[in-house]
Amino acid sequence: MDDDELLSRHYPVEENMRMQQRVWRFERAGWWCLVLMVVLALLGLFGNGPLSDATAISTDGRVQVEYQRLSRSGTTDNLRITVRGTSAEPVMVLLGGSLLREASIETLQPEPQASLSQGKALLLQLGTSRDGVATLYLTLRSEHVGTLEGVVRAGPSSTVRFSTFLYP
Amino acid sequence: MDSILRAAAMYVALMLLFRVAGRRSLADLTTFDFVLLLIIGEATQQALLGEDFSFTNAILVIATLIVLDVGLSLAKLNAKPLARLLDGHATLVVEQGRFLHSRMRRARLTEDDILESARDSQGIERVEQIKFAIVERNGKISIIAQE
């Protein structure tokens, strides 16, 4: 910048060019921060993107949960649970954890054959397809802010734990 | 209680965002700027009110915003450095008929912007006729003509 233009004028207004330069630098840095925020949001830092989409699989591989690692309070999230059982035999799936307690289940597809409560958790009986796979689609909404844990269990060694962080 | 916190958080967030946008951004409101402002208002509204559309909630939110705004201006009255920090300084961009180009560049101003203001407020035709042009703290351009 021109040296003369950097000098503070005192007439007709009292200037403080050092301060003014700091303001300009702040504006420029702030703009880059906003650009970064937009790019990260596109990547899914605030939900619904590659950074946020996640899949958790139980140790024996029978239960698979597709969930959002990051989400926002008050929005609906999709949760897909796939359970491998024996052909044409119903499987029992236990849904628990703070996520399923705090969040309200807006939709549950397909309708389970039976739905029971077990302590604070939810026990569902699902019908399987011919190849022995049961899939459950859930839509969840929570007003909670912070981390919520979900547990899906379909047997002693078929447990999936996952957690979702909800932005305000 | 959370509507108060929401309003306060939104006030601070908007203040930061508009500080980044700079004082010029919405100074001379074009039609498009006006539409943009409306959209910003729409985007803010949901987060401010949440699910609660009651009269009480609306009054609480408005009261919080006014308390913060008046409180801040009172604080500025008592602390000059704070006022300087939040409002900034007026900046000269034309001096004795001469553009101060690097200042204009930082302030995202073109020669046309200044000449437009000069025509609009003083009926000035050329930059030589301007004694001083000043970007005020609110982003408006003041023109003082040569005698």
Question: In chain B, what percentage of residues exceed pLDDT 90?
Answer: 59
pLDDT grade for B80, boundaries at 50, 70 and 90: confident
Tens digit of each residue's pLDDT, chain A (168 residues) = 567 888 888 888 888 888 889 889 999 999 999 999 999 999 999 988 999 999 999 988 899 999 999 999 888 999 999 999 888 788 999 999 998 888 889 999 889 999 998 888 899 999 888 888 999 999 999 888 999 999 999 888 889 999 999 998
Q: Would you call A26 and B19 a contact, using CB atoms and an 8 Å cutoff?
A: yes
Distance from CA of A20 to the nearest CA of B (A): 7
* Residue A75: partners with Cβ closer than 8 Å, 6 or more residues away: A47, A141
- Please report the pLDDT score of residue A1 as a whole number: 56
- Please report the pLDDT score of residue B129 as a whole number: 93
Interface membership of A14 toward B (CB under 8 Å): yes
Is the pLDDT assigned to residue B17 strictly greater than 70? yes
Q: Would you call B90 and A16 a contact, using CB atoms and an 8 Å cutoff?
A: no
Is the pLDDT assigned to residue B137 strictly greater than 60? yes
Average pLDDT of span B29-56? 88
pLDDT grade for B66, boundaries at 50, 70 and 90: very high
Q: Would you call A19 and B89 a contact, using CB atoms and an 8 Å cutoff?
A: yes
What average pLDDT is seen over chain B? Answer: 90
DSSP per-residue letters across chain A: --HHHHSPP-SSS---HHHHHHHHHHHHHHHHHHHHHHHHHHHTTTSSSTTTEEEEE-TTS-EEEEEESEEETTSEEEEEEEEE--TTS-EEEEEESHHHHHSEEEEEESPPSEEEEETTEEEEEE---TTSEEEEEEEEE----EEEEEEEESSTT-EEEEEEEEE-
Spell out the domain ranges in chain B: 2-87, 91-145
Name the residue facing B91 among A20, A30, A168 (closest C-beta). Answer: A20
CA dist., res. A45 & res. B10, Å (int): 20
Which of B40, B106, B138 to mutate to test binding with chain A, by most A CBs within 10 Å of its CB?
Answer: B106
- Please report the pLDDT score of residue B35 as a whole number: 93
Q: Which is more confident, A155 or B8?
A: B8
Name the residue facing A20 among B20, B21, B88 (closest C-beta). Answer: B88
B9: which chain A residues are within 8 Å (Cβ-Cβ)? 168
Is the pLDDT assigned to residue B77 strictly greater than 90? yes
Interface membership of A57 toward B (CB under 8 Å): no
**Is the alpha carbon torsion for A42, A43, A46, A52 positive or negative?**
positive
Tell the CATH topology of B91-145: CRO Repressor (3.30.240)
